[in-house]
Amino acid sequence: MSEQRRVRPAPLSGFPEWTPEVRLVELHWLDRIRAAFERYGFCSVETPSVEALEVLLAKGETSQEVYTLHRLQADEADAGEARLGLHFDLTVPIARYVAQHFNDLVFPFKRYQMQRVWRGERPQEGRFREFMQCDVDVIDVDDVALQFDAELARIVCEVLTELGIPPWALHVNNRKVLQGFYQSLGIGDPLAVIRVADKIDKVGVAGVEAMLADDVGLAPEQVRACLDLAAIRGSGAGVVDDVTALGVKSDLLTEGLDELGYVLDAMSDLPDGTVLADLSIARGLDYYTGTVYETRFTDWPDYGSIASGGRYDDLAGSYINRRLPGVGLSIGLTRIFAKLVGEGLLETAASCPTDVLVVVPNAERRGVAVETAARLRERGLRTELYHQADRIGKQLRYASRKGIPYVWFPPFDDGKPHEVKEMAGGDQVEADPSTWRRP
């Protein structure tokens, strides 16, 4: 290969990659998230990384973010094939999946999906071109029980707590509250107000005020009422009274407040500050129709949402002649993880999953080391056999550099006992490979 041009291997912006010790923590996180989803009985689904372009664009959104696929040496035989693009979220794929496999699924269909997604965006803090999303949704025919609006948020709160990340809060709102409130104010296009209200984190209250007046064309008293509503937040069902106190009345508003009250009540046993009713939360996407969620780090309020979602009336209307409403949340795993890595807050311990390194005392006694390692593995211990009869100091340094917690010494002479050394404390004691357990 020496005659070949040398290629300088460089990181690709927006495509995160981790060294083994960081990856080991990420894998642990993924295990925790999966375990939380499975604890509630949700099933795993994976879909292909690609969808037909007409599926990806069926809702006419985010078209500029899609990566399309081309064969490097495409030929005329490709001309008749479907154009393919990488999925940019896991909602479009699950909608297509549910429609396609409708007759093979049991409803309510409770699934989780942990996969990479791709967006051809300009990378910036918290925004990647390839990232891992962990979605959990319930989809049912005609109606979805309201209990799931609380159950899904609870699952996400539980697992974010387990991950031990810096303080965060799950903000909850209900689109029916916003829509009913705006309609009662005589606003003709409530969705236009929702789209503007959703920008409150980016442009601030003054920015939203100006946009509502200038872009949406609201009267000053309408703007004032919208801002009063958006200012309401609280940790419990008391926010329902605060909204009612604004004096606006409509059936849709009442329905939304009932739902919001139910969800807050069902999560009232969670630790204080975990769940926050926040009437400023809108979620920009048109398809949300009820509960909406957004999760933010307390200390980094401007960093993007780390777990978001909501309830939608009709997931798969583009594909199937059945109404399939649903509710779901998506944990932005890469967004959370990369932030902790970037802030230097991620604690790593080892670069491998190994419990024990078995030393090779010398070439003659390699067979004993091989047998010892096999015995330990049979008993469930993750065991490396050192690869050659190097100096013992070199073998110990290998264990130390990889963060392997125990080093095993098979007997250097027949009749002598095995010994095991705890690397952190330095203790070395006799041990039997057939009975030893990791303390």
Kindly state whether residue 394 participates in binding its own copies, applying the rule CB under 8 A: no
Provide CB contacts within 8 A for 412, sequence distance 6+. Answer: 361, 362, 365
- Angle at which helices 190-197 and 175-184 cross, to 10°: 120
Kindly state whether residue 64 participates in binding its own copies, applying the rule CB under 8 A: yes
Which DSSP category does 301 fall into? T
Binders of its own copies among residues 13 to 32 (CB under 8 A) are 15-20, 23-24, 27
Kindly state whether residue 435 participates in binding its own copies, applying the rule CB under 8 A: no
Pairing of strands 406-409, 418-422: antiparallel
Residue 98's CB is within 10 A of a number of other CB atoms, namely 24
- 110 φ/ψ angles, rounded to the nearest 5 degrees: -110, 105
Query: Would you say 74 or 203 has its CB closer to its own copies?
Result: 74
Long-range contacts of 96-104 (CB under 8 A, 24+ apart): 96/47, 96/51, 96/55, 96/316, 96/319, 97/45, 97/47, 98/139, 98/315, 98/316, 98/320, 98/324, 99/316, 99/319, 99/320, 99/324, 100/319, 102/320, 102/322
Binders of its own copies among residues 203 to 242 (CB under 8 A) are none
Q: Which helix (H) or strand (E) holds 156?
A: helix 147-163
**Smallest gap, in angstroms, from Cβ of residue 151 to its own copies?**
7
Segment interacting with its own copies, rule: CB under 8 A, options 169-177, 235-243, 351-359, 425-433: 351-359
Half-sphere exposure of 196 (CA within 13 A, CB side): 24
Q: Which of 402, 405, 411, 422 binds its own copies (CB under 8 A)?
A: 402
Q: Which of 29, 32, 33, 38 binds its own copies (CB under 8 A)?
A: 38
Size of the site for its own copies (CB under 8 A): 99
Query: Would you say 30 or 227 has its CB closer to its own copies?
Result: 30
Kindly state whether residue 101 participates in binding its own copies, applying the rule CB under 8 A: yes
Q: Is the distance from CB of 323 to CB of 192 less than 8 angstroms?
A: no
**Smallest gap, in angstroms, from Cβ of residue 11 to its own copies?**
7
Segment interacting with its own copies, rule: CB under 8 A, options 118-126, 270-278, 293-301, 407-415: 118-126
Kindly state whether residue 50 participates in binding its own copies, applying the rule CB under 8 A: yes
**What are 191's two structure tokens?**
């969705």
Where helices occur in 267-365 by DSSP H, the ranges are 333-342
As a whole number of angstroms, the distance between CA 54 and CA 57 comes to 5
Kindly state whether residue 353 participates in binding its own copies, applying the rule CB under 8 A: yes
Q: Which of 79, 202, 301, 387 binds its own copies (CB under 8 A)?
A: 387
Kindly state whether residue 404 participates in binding its own copies, applying the rule CB under 8 A: yes
Q: Which of 181, 336, 384, 410 binds its own copies (CB under 8 A)?
A: 384
Kindly state whether residue 86 participates in binding its own copies, applying the rule CB under 8 A: yes
**Smallest gap, in angstroms, from Cβ of residue 378 to its own copies?**
9
Q: Which of 33, 84, 194, 264 binds its own copies (CB under 8 A)?
A: 84
Binders of its own copies among residues 127 to 146 (CB under 8 A) are 130, 145
Query: Would you say 40 or 303 has its CB closer to its own copies?
Result: 40
Q: Which helix (H) or strand (E) holds 110?
A: strand 109-118
Q: Which of 87, 96, 311, 418 binds its own copies (CB under 8 A)?
A: 96
Segment interacting with its own copies, rule: CB under 8 A, options 116-124, 204-212, 338-346, 429-437: 116-124
Kindly state whether residue 9 participates in binding its own copies, applying the rule CB under 8 A: yes
Q: Which of 161, 183, 254, 351 binds its own copies (CB under 8 A)?
A: 351
Kindly state whether residue 348 participates in binding its own copies, applying the rule CB under 8 A: no
Binders of its own copies among residues 313 to 342 (CB under 8 A) are 314, 317-321
As a whole number of angstroms, the distance between CA 259 and CA 276 comes to 15
Q: Region of 62 please: left (phi>0), alpha (psi -120 to 50) or beta.
A: left
**Residue 303, SS3 per DSSP:** coil
As a whole number of angstroms, the distance between CA 166 and CA 425 comes to 30
Q: Which helix (H) or strand (E) holds 378?
A: helix 366-378
Query: Would you say 47 or 250 has its CB closer to its own copies?
Result: 47
Residues in the chain, overall count: 439
Query: Would you say 181 or 409 has its CB closer to its own copies?
Result: 409
Q: Which of 54, 125, 302, 427 binds its own copies (CB under 8 A)?
A: 54
Segment interacting with its own copies, rule: CB under 8 A, options 4-12, 228-236, 274-282, 417-425: 4-12
Segment interacting with its own copies, rule: CB under 8 A, options 181-189, 194-202, 227-235, 379-387: 379-387
**What are 267's two structure tokens?**
């999560």
